[in-house]
Structure 1
Amino acid sequence: MTSYTVIIVVITSLISFIAFNNIKLMDTLIFWPPAVSMRHQYWRFITCGLIHADFMHLLFNMFTLYFFGRGLENLYMGELGLQHYYFLILYFLALIFSNIPTYLKRKDDYNYRSLGASGAVSAVMFAVILIRPWEKLYLYASIPMPSLLFAVLFIGYSVYMSKRGGDNVNHDAHLWGAVFGIVFTVAVDHDSLGNFINALRHPQF
């Protein structure tokens, strides 16, 4: 069966590469809150996830999505017994949900722009962490740690940087994307929360 993760990575990469050299396309797809509130261009909640600021931004998001996404597809269909398309629902709803707090905060800010798939990627990551809290991850591809510890650090950093601001990164999208990944997975598989709590009682390092 074709991986939805691979399809999303390919499509996002192609559109991002085109938009790098096409300002009009970038302006049409980017998340610009006033365009939503005043022009009702609701598609921007999703299309902003198809474009990225530069090659490194794209590479980081797609690299993370590729590995976590394929893992989540397997977990959804295997361990949770869900239909294949649940991954797509998670991904695209996460794009919308992760941008809502930013929209509410910035809907009258004509100078604000946001782009990238980070909110949806965070949702995918945290869905995997919920199911596999003791899975070993490598921070910066070199520092091993349990995925649960990574989750705590990630959330703490996102909250801190969201309050601090000043780095042109939408940390709210990261944070709320992560929350959505957990909530969605619990909603479609009620046992996942109980299994997570049980896993916490049996640490594996």
Structure 2
Amino acid sequence: MSITLILIILTSGISIYAWSHQDLLDKWVFHPFSVNKKNHWYRFITSGFLHADWMHLFFNMLSLYFFGGVVERVFMSNFGYEMGIAIYLLIYLGGMIVADVPTYIKHKKDYNYRALGASGAVSAIIFSSILFNPINLICLFAFICMPGFIFGVIYLIYSYYEAQRMGGAINHSAHFYGAVFGFVVSFLLVQGAGQNFIDQISGWRIF
């Protein structure tokens, strides 16, 4: 079984279980105040295995399913099976942690702030995939399709703008920093990935 599928099953199981076990949800949710005051650093990881509702869980896990396999295969072909899995988890869990660092800094004295979800980790995997296959089409709402590198630029601009605006309940900052982490670390680890990225974009034509 692939590591991507294992993460999907694990995250789905924990999320569904936590919906009916409020004590676990409270203990695992990302709560910057508790991290700061009680040293609950584990929340950087545990919160990534929780989701607010079915829709939140569905979109994150669907995205991980579609993009995770590509990243998994690239890492395994370059580093072997065991090291490939380790690097994949570095991108996924590292993206989960790094994505929440700015949120922690901003809200560490705010008792009422809480966050949850694998969005930062999934963004890291999506942008790792974009690095490896920048001209593969990514479709929004099943009919608005564009090459991955164009989607990536739009995604980063939108996430950054929304994070500055601080509108709504979505942690856009986590999306932005998770995406940057996944792209940069994959670029540094996989030899030739940067040149392949440039070559593919250079050869791309609209028509």
Q: TM-score normalised to the size of structure 1?
A: 0.95
Shift of 1:152: 1.1
Quick one: which amino acid aligns to residue 62 of structure 2?
A: F
Q: Deviations over 1:1-42 (max 9, x none)?
A: x20000000000000001111111111110000111110011
User: Do residues 73 (structure 1) and 72 (structure 2) align?
Assistant: yes
Three-state SS of the structure 2 residue aligned to 1:137 is strand
User: Do residues 29 (structure 1) and 22 (structure 2) align?
Assistant: no
Shift of 1:93: 1.1
Shift of 1:136: 1.0
Pairs within 5 Å for 1:82-93: 83-85=83-85, 86-93=87-94
Residue 95 of structure 1 corresponds to 96
Q: Deviations over 1:38-94 (max 9, x none)?
A: 10011000000100010100000001001111121112223x445322111211111
Unaligned runs of 5+ in 2: none
Alpha-carbon distance in structure 2 between the residues aligned to 1:163 and 1:186: 27
Residue 190 of structure 2 corresponds to 189
Alpha-carbon distance in structure 1 between the residues aligned to 2:150 and 2:141: 14
Alpha-carbon distance in structure 2 between the residues aligned to 1:105 and 1:115: 16
CA RMSD across the alignment: 1.3
Pairs within 5 Å for 1:97-176: 97-176=98-177
User: Do residues 55 (structure 1) and 68 (structure 2) align?
Assistant: no
Three-state SS of the structure 2 residue aligned to 1:89 is helix
Alpha-carbon distance in structure 2 between the residues aligned to 1:141 and 1:11: 27
Quick one: which amino acid aligns to residue 130 of structure 2?
A: I
Residue 40 of structure 1 corresponds to 39
Indicate if the aligned counterparts of 1:134 and 1:204 stay in contact, CA closer than 8 A: no
Three-state SS of the structure 1 residue aligned to 2:84 is coil
Shift of 1:204: 4.9
Quick one: which amino acid aligns to residue 174 of structure 2?
A: A
Quick one: which amino acid aligns to residue 131 of structure 1?
A: F
Q: Size of the alignment, in residue pairs?
A: 203
Alpha-carbon distance in structure 1 between the residues aligned to 2:25 and 2:79: 38
Q: How many percent of aligned residue pairs carry the same amino acid? A: 42
Quick one: which amino acid aligns to residue 84 of structure 1?
A: G
Three-state SS of the structure 1 residue aligned to 2:26 is helix
Alpha-carbon distance in structure 1 between the residues aligned to 2:53 and 2:68: 22
